[in-house]
Chains A and B, each alone.
Chain A
Amino acid sequence: MTPAAIEHLRCRLFLFAVLPAMDDLLKASEEARALLGDESFSVAFKTRSGLRGAYFLEGETCRFDWGNAAEKADVELFFHSDAQANSTFEGRKAIPPMPTRGISKIGRVKQFQDIAAVLEDFLQPNGDALRDTDFREAFVKTYFGIMLRSLCQLCEHERVSREIFRSGPHGLAQFQLGRDGVPTWLNLVPRRLDWGRGEPPRTADVTVCFNDPAVALHALHDEMDAQAELGLGTLEINGFPPLAEQVNLLMERIELYLPRGKTPAGI
């Protein structure tokens, strides 16, 4: 891939996979809700390369839209390049985006920035935080949401991921933190990819269950010896392990474009 293509893909992931996680955040985090208060506002990002995403924040929700609804956002910010957008999302020094609509409400973008910073902290919990059942569920929900949205993007827009996806195996994979945790599932069927939360549409072909929050944290930080954890029972895989390996392979592709813990703090 050319450097420009990589930047484009990274921007796609930020817009379509990471920022939509604000919905999960608002549902889970009092701090994020307090920052939003009783107000509602919306912001859209647009790039010269044609990417566009809009985020409508109200109460406990952040509705994401990548279609024409973006034109209804209170504020629209334009990035001259994908690289500029990525630098901004990663909190690196960058030329600020140009407001192309709602300049009178531009000050409210600060709220969005602050909520994004909460999201960044939320996605990098310590082991103690993960021992709290409520937090753990919210964290896994949010984290897997980002991963699975990213995975869907890669399987459509990145050659290697497309090939991995096409070559199979296919089936329904389910992930959960704790045996009683709320499942997140991913259905890989030829030429189609769906994901969702809660009970999957049918029995999963493979279920991956993290029985120890600390192990989940290690997995998140790429510090897990998966085979050892499987032997110890802190990680369980039931059903068709090659499908879990397939998903893992695809998830590893995400790291090439979206370093762990990177969220849009710098907006």
Chain B
Amino acid sequence: MELSSGTVSPQERIGASNAQPYAESMALFRRAAQVIPCGIYGHQSPAATLPGASPYYAARAEGCRYWDVDGREYLDFICGYGPIVLGYRHPEVEEVAERQRRDGDTFNHPTARMVELAERLVSLVDFASWAVFGKNGSDVTSWAVRVARESTRRKKILRLSGGYHGIDPWCNHSPAGIIEEDRAHVHTFHWNDLEGFAQLMRRHAGKVACVIVTPYHHPAFGDSILPARGFLKAIEQKCRDEGVVLILDDIRAGFRLHLGGSHRVFGFSPDIICFSKALGNGHPISAALGRKELRVPASRVFLTGSFWNSAVPMAASLKVLDILERDDVPAKLQRSGQRLREGLERLGTEFGKDILGSGPAAVPFYRFNDESNFRQWQRFCAYAMEGEGGVGAFFHPHHNWFLSAAHTDADIDQALEIARVAMQRTLEETI
């Protein structure tokens, strides 16, 4: 498609340079579109990535690489959108999971793994005295909000504008299927706007049940923003003063920045913390942990699901936590992420096209510094996915990336070489 700037879309360029690179993906998607709304829904929808210029379906994975249904290999910097913190199919984790699977997964009762995992998590998180489990982030963020309401007997939820806490009506960004009443008691404030937050607290004085925050702001389609000095601590203090429950949604960054919760990095202390993603290294599990003062309200708020007490993900999580601690994975992710960031920044300087990295190096967001509409960045990411010599780099154009412990220096360097070629091709077509 010829655009007004004289540039072309990623789809057209990819189509021209390499006929049908994602033919099997497309064939599957055509079938999917007949029987599944959206074909692929949610964050993995092609619509959210690069339709026509990125893989749609995966076939297998190992370490920090995966292969799509067309047999193309990728160095992965999305890690399943976060869950893969140690690398795909980590042998130690899978061995434990397989052992548990042989004994059984879903029973009439929980297993000892549930008790062990709760004990382990409580020992890791400084303020926590209890833990509960779900499958996905939404399970525990929504439950945590209900616990806050039960504890305070108040209605109002204060949350960040542009923040993401899951798919439930109170926090879902989409208007579809939502009625006004679903969000009648949900109010937003802007990241790092302490005065706006204070005003909101004053306006709803005595009515606020909880404030839910992320450890840093990580919107899609936008730079990640770290907290201003004292921002989160001031929110904590205000919550203490007003008897409001402070919930930390650490679904995305949890265990990547600090084993004891990301609040430890940013110097504040919530009342409830929610984890998912990295906890199971791909096994479906989420957890909420809280202060002892919230133990009784937590006991009153109904929580269950057909598979929420499954033993395999809990066994896997126990192993994941052991490895995270043993190998000091957060420090390793920081080093790998920093190597990637420095490499991309060097590349940008070399080509006279600044690449801007924001957020923690282990969970970075990247874009070209001179554009906010992602047009060139989308082409760069499409070329990176297409790759060189049969190996691409899965660089997401609009979402933060994730590093895993499986990324070696050699992997990072290989990704940077792929990025170099992608940068050349991107800039060549712009000239």
Which A residues are within 8 Å of any B CB, using their own CB?
171, 174, 179-180, 183, 199-200, 202-207, 209, 225-228, 230-233, 236-243, 249, 252
CB-nearest residue of chain B relative to A181?
B1
Bound form: Cα–Cα A140–B4 in Å: 18
- In which size bucket is the chain B interface? 20 to 34
A199–B11 Cα distance when bound, in Å, is 21
Are the CB atoms of B398 and A241 closer together than 8 Å? Answer: yes
Of B4, B5, B52, which is within 8 A of A233 by CB?
B52
Interface centre among A230, A231, A232, A243 (most CB of B within 10 A): A231
| Residue numbers in A under 8 Å from B175 (CB-CB) | 249, 252
Q: Is B33 an interface residue (CB 8 A)?
A: yes
Q: At the interface, yes or no: B374 with Cβ under 8 Å from chain A?
A: yes
Which candidate, B43-51, B225-233, B245-253, B296-304, is the interface stretch facing chain A? B43-51
**Among candidates A174, A200, A236, A242, residue contacting B51 with C-beta atoms closer than 8 Å:** A236
Cβ B221 vs Cβ A227 within 8 A: no
Q: Is the CB of A228 within 8 A of B37?
A: yes
Chain B binding surface SS class: loop
Chain A residues near B7 (CB, 8 Å)?
203
Report the minimal beta-carbon distance from A200 to chain B, rounded to whole angstroms.
6
Closest to B29 in A: A231
- Chain A positions within 8 Å of B51 at CB level: 230-231, 233, 236-237
Name the B residues within 8 Å of A232 (CB-CB): 26, 29-30, 33, 39
**Complex interface residues of chain B between 8 and 39 (CB less than 8 A to chain A):** 9-11, 26, 29-30, 32-33, 37-39
The reply to whether A226 and B375 contact each other, CB–CB distance below 8 Å, is no
- Per-position 1/0 for B33-72, Cβ under 8 A of A: 1000111110001111001100010000000000000000
With A and B bound together, what is the CA distance between A231 and B372 in angstroms?
23
Say yes or no for B2: interface residue by CB 8 A criterion. Answer: yes
| Contact call A200/B4, Cβ cutoff below 8 A | yes
B269 located at the interface, meaning its Cβ lies under 8 Å from any Cβ of chain A in the complex: no
The SS class assigned to the A binding surface is mixed
**Residues in chain B near residue A231, CB distance under 8 A:** 29, 33, 38-40, 45-47, 51, 56
Interface centre among B26, B48, B51, B378 (most CB of A within 10 A): B51
CB-CB under 8 A from A249, the residues of chain B are: 175
Q: Taking the nearest CB of chain B, how far is it from the CB of A182, in angstroms?
A: 12
Instruction: Give the residues from 194 to 221 in chain B that come closer than 8 angstroms, CB to CB, to chain A.
Output: 221
With A231-B40, A236-B11 as known contacts, state yes or no: A183 contacts B4, CB within 8 Å.
yes
Complex contact A228–B378 (CB within 8 A): no
Contact call A227/B2, Cβ cutoff below 8 A: no
In the docked arrangement, what's the CA distance between A166 and B30, Å? 38
- Tell me the minimal C-beta distance from A36 to chain B in angstroms: 35
* Other A-B pairs, 6, CB within 8 Å; known A207-B1, A227-B41, A232-B39: A199-B4, A228-B38, A230-B46, A232-B29, A236-B9, A240-B375
The complex places the Cα of A237 from the Cα of B9 at a distance, in Å, of: 9
Contact of A239 (CB < 8 Å), options: B2, B26, B38, B374: B374
Contacts of B5 in A (CB 8 A): 203
- Return the chain B residue nearest A203 by Cβ: B5
In the complex, B373 has a CB within 8 A of chain A: yes
Q: How far is the CA of A50 from the CA of B46 in the complex (A)?
A: 49
Subset of 14 A-B contacts with CB under 8 Å: A171-B373, A205-B373, A209-B1, A225-B39, A227-B38, A228-B38, A231-B29, A236-B52, A238-B1, A238-B9, A238-B11, A238-B378, A240-B372, A241-B398
A-B pairs with lowest CB-CB distance, top 6? A227-B38, A205-B373, A230-B47, A203-B5, A231-B46, A179-B1
Q: Quick one: closest A residue to B48, CB to CB?
A: A241
- Cβ–Cβ < 8 Å partners of B47 in chain A: 226-227, 230-231, 237, 241
Inter-chain CA distance A206–B5, complex, in Å, is 12
**A207–B374 alpha-carbon span in the complex (Å):** 12
The distance from the CB of B426 to the nearest CB of chain A, in whole angstroms, is 14
Distance to closest chain B CB from A64 (angstroms): 27
Contacts of A207 in B (CB 8 A): 1, 3, 9
Chain A residue nearest to B9 in the complex (CB): A238
CB pair B375 A239 closer than 8 Å: yes
Residues of A within 8 A of B4 (CB): 174, 183, 199-200, 202-204
Contact at A240–B374, with CB atoms within 8 Å? yes
CB distance from B235 to the nearest CB of A (A): 22
Of the listed residues B4, B5, B52, the one surrounded by the most CB atoms of chain A closer than 10 A to its CB is B4
